[in-house]
């Protein structure tokens, strides 16, 4: 065996030991977070680091999150385009039409998650088609523009354009304008909250209810996490910092964001539509979501808050068959049934 071969094999052994040691360190650091997860939701995947901290990592993250989920039987999906307007370009939307729908029906405008920086409407095929089929309503799933290429207010402009389109073409779509709800998960939930505030402040369009699934509402959680060491699974503090910085266009520290950019900062919540907020007690957004729900109630807005013990962020997407996540989504569906079904 030559000296060069011995050096190569020794280097390979050292690299292997270092890799195993690195994995062990990650496991040890994440073990307390995984221990807090509800037993029905635990998965080896929770030990995999998920932090998104740079633009360089965005393409891979977008590919991973951009996979289409299955469409429920009995629902047809078509693509339509909201015409371009003064607030931005045309917007692609997916329209979910159940085979059985009494006209005019209610409708749900849905906004996907992804931290404002990733995600596609197709990732929510299953949820949107399930809502359409279960409630006999039309669901419109919005392909809004993403940061950092398109920072605030691009995504919100696209969202309100889509809402106005549903109202304007309600007769053609077979929709009752008095029964149009909005909703979203994670960043999509934050967008829905911003959309409700903007619609209120601009005098419409009308919204029957807002469904906020572990919504991303308040950029100040970035600083709170830094001060307290708060962290969480699947959407950690590091990802939250990167996403808010991208969405708000890298504003200087200490500068308040524009109106409607971070809905959790809004002082006046009176006059907003009835609201459902669901979040896990170990989610990074738990504090900001509970605070928002309490302030909605204090402002006279009907609000139903569901805090699920041991539910990590986006657990319903990672473990959809669990009794915990099924009950969580069923509660949201019940609220929609009462509002628009």
Give, for all 341 residues of the chain, the pLDDT tens digit.
565 555 445 545 433 333 333 445 557 778 899 999 999 999 888 998 889 999 999 999 999 999 999 999 999 999 999 998 776 789 999 999 999 999 999 999 999 999 999 999 999 999 999 999 999 999 999 999 999 999 999 999 999 999 999 999 999 999 999 999 999 999 999 999 999 999 999 999 999 999 999 999 999 999 999 999 889 999 999 999 999 999 999 876 567 899 999 999 999 999 999 999 999 999 999 999 999 999 999 999 999 999 999 999 999 999 999 999 999 999 999 999 999 98
Helix (DSSP H) and strand (DSSP E) numbers for the chain: 11, 8
Q: Which residues pair with 105 in a beta bridge?
A: 175
Strand partners, 82: 91
Q: Identify whether residues 130 and 6 lie together within a single domain.
A: no
Q: Are residues 30 and 45 in the same domain?
A: no
CATH for 156 = 3.40.50.1820
Tell me how many degrees the CA angle 146-318-53 measures, rounded to the nearest 5.
40
What b/e readout covers 69-93, taking b as 16+ CB neighbours within 10 angstroms? Answer: eebbeebebeeeebeeeeebbebbb
Q: Are residue 25 and residue 172 in the same domain, yes or no?
A: no
DSSP 266: -
* Cβ count near 189 (within 10 Å): 29
Q: Please say whether the beta carbons of 299 and 269 come within 8 A.
A: yes
pTM: 0.91
Residue located via tokens 């006279």: 300
Residues 101, 136 contacting (CB under 8 angstroms): yes
Is residue 128 located within the same domain as residue 30?
no
230 with 189, same domain: the answer is yes
Catalytic residue positions, numbered: 186, 283, 313
CB 261 within 8 A of CB 247: yes
How many distinct structural domains can be found in the chain? 2
**Which residues are CB-contacts of 265 (< 8 A; sequence separation ≥ 6)?**
218, 219, 220, 256, 257
- The reply to whether 109 and 159 lie within a common domain is yes
Q: Do 322 and 216 belong together in one domain?
A: yes
Cα 45 from Cα 38, distance rounded (Å)? 14
Domain that holds residue 19: 1-35
Verify that 31 and 161 share a domain, yes or no: no
Q: What is the DSSP string of 173-194?
A: HTEEEEEEEEEEETHHHHHHHH
What count of other Cβ atoms lies within 10 Å of the Cβ of residue 61? 17
Q: Are 28 and 52 found together in one domain?
A: no
Query: Are 165 and 288 in a shared domain?
Result: yes
The phi, psi pair for 60, rounded to 5°, reads -65, -40
What is the Cα–Cα distance from 139 to 340, expressed in whole angstroms? 11
Based on the fold, state whether residues 155 and 194 are members of the same structural domain. yes
The strand pairing partners of 175, in sequence order, are: 105
Question: Are 114 and 18 in a shared domain?
Answer: no
Task: Verify cis geometry, omega within 30 degrees of 0, for the bond prior to 104.
Answer: yes
**How high is the pLDDT of residue 254?**
64
Distance CA 119, CA 188 (A): 10
Residue 243 CA to residue 252 CA, distance in Å, equals 15
- What three-state secondary structure class fits 236? coil
């Amino acid at each position: 065996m030559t000296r060069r071969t011995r050096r190569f094999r020794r280097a390979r052994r050292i690299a292997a030991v270092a890799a195993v040691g690195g994995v062990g360190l990650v496991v040890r650091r994440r073990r307390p977070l995984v221990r807090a997860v509800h037993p029905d939701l635990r998965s080896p995947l929770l030990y995999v680091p998920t932090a998104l901290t740079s633009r360089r990592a965005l393409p891979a993250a977008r590919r991973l999150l951009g996979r289409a989920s299955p469409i429920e039987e009995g629902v047809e999906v078509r693509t339509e385009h909201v015409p371009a307007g003064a607030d931005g370009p045309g917007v692609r939307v997916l329209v979910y039409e159940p085979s059985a729908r009494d006209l005019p029906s209610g409708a749900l405008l849905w906004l996907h998650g992804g931290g404002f920086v990733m995600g596609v409407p197709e990732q929510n095929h299953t949820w949107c088609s399930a809502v359409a089929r279960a409630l006999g309503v039309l669901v419109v799933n919005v392909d809004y523009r993403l940061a950092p290429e398109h920072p605030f207010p691009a995504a919100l402009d696209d969202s309100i354009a889509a809402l106005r389109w549903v109202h304007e073409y309600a007769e053609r779509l077979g929709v009752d304008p008095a029964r149009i709800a909005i909703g979203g998960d994670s960043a999509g939930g934050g967008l829905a909250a911003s959309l409700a505030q903007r619609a209120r402040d601009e005098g419409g369009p009308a919204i029957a209810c807002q469904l906020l699934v572990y919504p991303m509402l308040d950029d100040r959680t970035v600083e709170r996490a830094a001060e307290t060491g708060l962290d969480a699974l699947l959407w950690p503090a590091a990802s939250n910092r990167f996403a808010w910085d991208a969405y708000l266009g890298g504003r200087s520290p200490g500068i308040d964001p524009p109106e409607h950019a971070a809905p959790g900062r809004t002082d006046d919540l009176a006059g907003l539509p009835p609201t459902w907020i669901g979040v896990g007690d170990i989610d990074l957004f738990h504090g900001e979501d509970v605070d928002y729900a309490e302030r909605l109630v204090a402002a006279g807005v009907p609000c139903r808050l569901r805090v699920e013990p041991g539910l990590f962020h986006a657990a319903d997407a990672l473990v959809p068959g669990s009794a915990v996540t099924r009950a969580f989504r069923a509660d949201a569906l019940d609220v929609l049934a009462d509002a628009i079904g």
